[in-house]
């Protein structure tokens, strides 16, 4: 179940990355690389940090094929994408929570302490988007737009403490996905943002 | 033989990186770092992805010295560099194919599946240039200019399937290098490019 | 002793990173991430390069909490920061040398050759700032401003050869910290810079 939503989320991430690549006028190869980096970069960085080998996509190389296929499909379907804004935002919200839970599970299986479990979920959820923005030469969106990382942190906290309080894992996953999803959608609809820190003196 | 061309390629990559650093008005230290990152970054990322330790330059630290020496020599010889455009492009083309073959070999020795072997060659061939462009604050060139990554993929495919069809390794390496080199030179001469994906709506 | 200065340096790095984040108008989450990446990124990359697991902050997750707390304190105290320019520069100079020594120690304990020991110290000292600048979409400052990386290299050389010449470790650490600190402060006061390499032809 989590695995199926994971594949759906990978596809959704790859497709939004392809659109970002198109905005930078990348060629088809660049579109595929950006799709793979965005969809799989979070898990790759998590596994590198934790020394958790083999990486997900090395163990299951079809993920790369899926990302490239999703990216090329996006090129073919580009004219319809504007109409699909909301489906994408919803899939992306779903993916964020699912990536987070999967990341928490990896750290839990390694017996990491709670802070690392939360960070592992967070890294899995948001680093793909950060790498996408760095490769597109932007300041990462996640550092300044509507609640996104916060959703990952909240989902990670609920999941980790839910398990510690003995809630059945399947029920917990459903609950965390619903709450995280609702929080992210609310953030988009109501433009919920973290307070910004604006500093304009040049002290260095 | 492959090893000798590898060192030549490392020097060529380090020198082109030094010129890129000069365009950003970096100091001598920055020039050396950019040279090392560009020449050795692809292999470093490949080994990190595959959990293949020690890294090439940790096992053979003279590579770092070679890169820095090549970078500083480039500063001394900068006035002659414009005349050396073609030698550099040719060495770079040679290096691309050799890096790719070396990357494939690493994955093959680890018993990775074919997709990962190709990706390993690709990462070894192109990631150094991507890191160079990110550190110079550019969108990576490899995502939008003449065929470059495609050459690495073609070379990786030929090499991997050539080995599977039982071609003698030495003959295969010579053949792949010649074909890859010719393809890259043709791409430069005839400005062969992958089709671009241009998307200008802002859906996120 | 080294451990205490290490924590002070982590806090100082986190606070300067928070100011950089404020200049990019990041939100509180972005400020915390940039603080963690800047303060802990050098050690993370060193450990990844050397295959030295677990990473410092995975083994000691309180470091993440300290970085976030320092970052949030910086937001609260932002109006006083301009007056604190010199204390910060001094703490940053101290931190640079201490990070470098700690990085050298990690490589020495792994029995790495001298070049790798120096590089390990250098990476620990400067990579955090490079990652901060990449995430802020700048060309890394360390490649073109006053002596900074050079201080790390000099400190690493003094420390490594001092140990080889049999100097007592504690005395050596004090000496290296003093010399490195003095060199960095002199670089800021007298605007000591490495020579720049300026190249403006477009050969690629």
Chains that touch C (3 or more CB pairs under 8 A): A, B
**Which stretch of C45-49, C131-135, C198-202 has the lowest confidence by average pLDDT?**
C198-202
Long-range contacts of C184-189 (CB under 8 A, 24+ apart): C184/C93, C184/C96, C184/C97, C184/C147, C184/C148, C184/C151, C185/C89, C185/C90, C185/C93, C187/C146, C187/C147, C187/C148, C187/C150, C187/C151, C188/C89, C188/C93, C188/C146
pLDDT of residue C202: 62
Contact A84, A74 (CB under 8 A): no
Q: What does the pLDDT look like over A118-167, one tens digit per residue?
A: 999 999 999 998 999 989 888 888 887 778 888 999 999 999 999 999 99
Segment C90-113 mean pLDDT: 92
Interface test with C, best of A142, A199, A201, A202 (most C CBs within 10 A): A199
| A61 chain-B contacts, CB cut-off 8 A | 113, 115-116, 119
pLDDT for position B196: 84
Supply the pLDDT for residue B202.
62
Q: What is the 3-state secondary structure (H, E, C) of chain B?
A: CHHHHHHHHHHHHHHHHHHHHHHCCCEHHHHHHHHHHHHHHHHHHHHHHHCCCCCHHHHCCHHHHHHHHHHHHHHHCHHHHHHHHHHHHHHHHHHHHHHHHHHHHHHHHCCCCHHHHHHHHHHHHHHHHHHHHHHCCCCCHHHCCECCHHHHHHHHHHHHHHHHCCCCHHHHHHHHHHHHHHHHHHHHHCCCECCECCCCCCCC
Nearest to B193 among A18, A27, A136 (CB): A27
Pick the more confident residue, A133 or A193.
Answer: A133
**Higher-confidence residue: C4 or C57?**
C57
Hey, of B24, B29, B83, B87, which one would you mutate to test binding to chain C, going by the most C CBs within 10 A of its CB? B29
pLDDT of residue A66: 96
In the predicted model, what is the mean pLDDT of chain B?
89
What does the mean pLDDT of chain C come to?
89
- The pLDDT of residue B145: 75
A33 to A85, B47, C91: CA distances (angstroms): 22, 18, 41
Domain boundaries, chain A: 2-189
The yes-or-no verdict on residue C85 having pLDDT over 80 is no
B146: β partners: B193
**Both tokens of residue A166?**
């003995």
The pLDDT of B102-119, averaged and rounded, is 95
Give the per-residue pLDDT at A202.
Answer: 62
pLDDT in tens, B160-177: 999 999 999 989 999 999
What does pTM read for this prediction?
A: 0.90
Say if residue A203's pLDDT is above 60. Answer: no
**A25 in contact with B at a CB cutoff of 8 Å?**
yes
Residue B124 has pLDDT above 90, yes or no: yes
Residues of B in contact with C116 (CB under 8 A): 58, 61
Contact B203 A64 (CB under 8 A): no
Arithmetic mean of pLDDT, A101-112: 95
Taking the Cβ of residue B53 and every Cβ of chain A, the question of whether any pair is shorter than 8 Å is answered with no
Distance between CA C52 and CA C57 in Å, rounded? 12
ipTM metric: 0.86
User: pLDDT, tens digit, for every residue of B128-146?
Assistant: 989 999 898 888 888 877 7
Of B91-95, B173-177, C24-28, C79-83, which gets the smallest average pLDDT?
C79-83
Which pLDDT value is given to residue A147? 80
- The pLDDT assigned to A92 comes to 83
Where does the pLDDT of residue C182 fall: very low under 50, low under 70, confident under 90, or very high at 90 and above? Answer: very high
Q: Tell me: the pLDDT tens digits for A55-99?
A: 999 999 999 999 999 999 999 988 887 777 788 788 888 889 999
Percentage of chain A exceeding pLDDT 90: 56
The mean-pLDDT minimum among A115-119, B173-177, C82-86 falls in C82-86
Q: How confident is the model at residue C58 (pLDDT cuts 50, 70, 90)?
A: very high
pLDDT tens string B64-103: 999 999 999 999 988 887 777 788 788 888 889 999 999 9
Note whether C204 contacts B82, CB cutoff 8 Å: no
Which of the four pLDDT bands, split at 50, 70 and 90, describes residue C190?
Answer: confident
Per-residue pLDDT averaged across C77-106, rounded? 86
């Amino acid at each position: 179940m989590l695995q199926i939503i994971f594949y759906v989320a990978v596809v959704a991430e790859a497709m939004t990355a392809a659109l970002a690549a198109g905005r930078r006028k990348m060629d088809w190869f660049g579109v595929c690389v950006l799709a793979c980096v965005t969809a799989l970069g979070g898990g790759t960085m998590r596994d590198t940090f934790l020394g958790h080998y083999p990486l997900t996509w090395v163990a299951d190389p079809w993920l790369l094929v899926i990302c490239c296929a999703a990216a090329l499909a996006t090129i073919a379907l580009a004219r319809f994408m504007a109409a699909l804004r909301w489906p994408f935002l919803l899939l992306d919200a779903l993916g964020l929570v699912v990536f987070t839970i999967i990341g928490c599970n990896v750290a839990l299986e390694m017996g990491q302490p709670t802070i690392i479990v939360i960070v592992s979920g967070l890294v899995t959820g948001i680093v793909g988007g950060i790498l996408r923005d760095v490769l597109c030469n932007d300041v990462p969106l996640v550092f300044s737009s509507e609640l996104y990382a916060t959703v990952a942190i909240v989902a990670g906290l609920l999941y980790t403490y839910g398990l510690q309080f003995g809630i059945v894992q399947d029920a917990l996953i459903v609950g965390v996905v619903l709450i995280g999803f609702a929080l992210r959608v609310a953030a988009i609809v109501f433009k919920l943002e973290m307070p910004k820190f604006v500093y304009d003196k040049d002290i260095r």
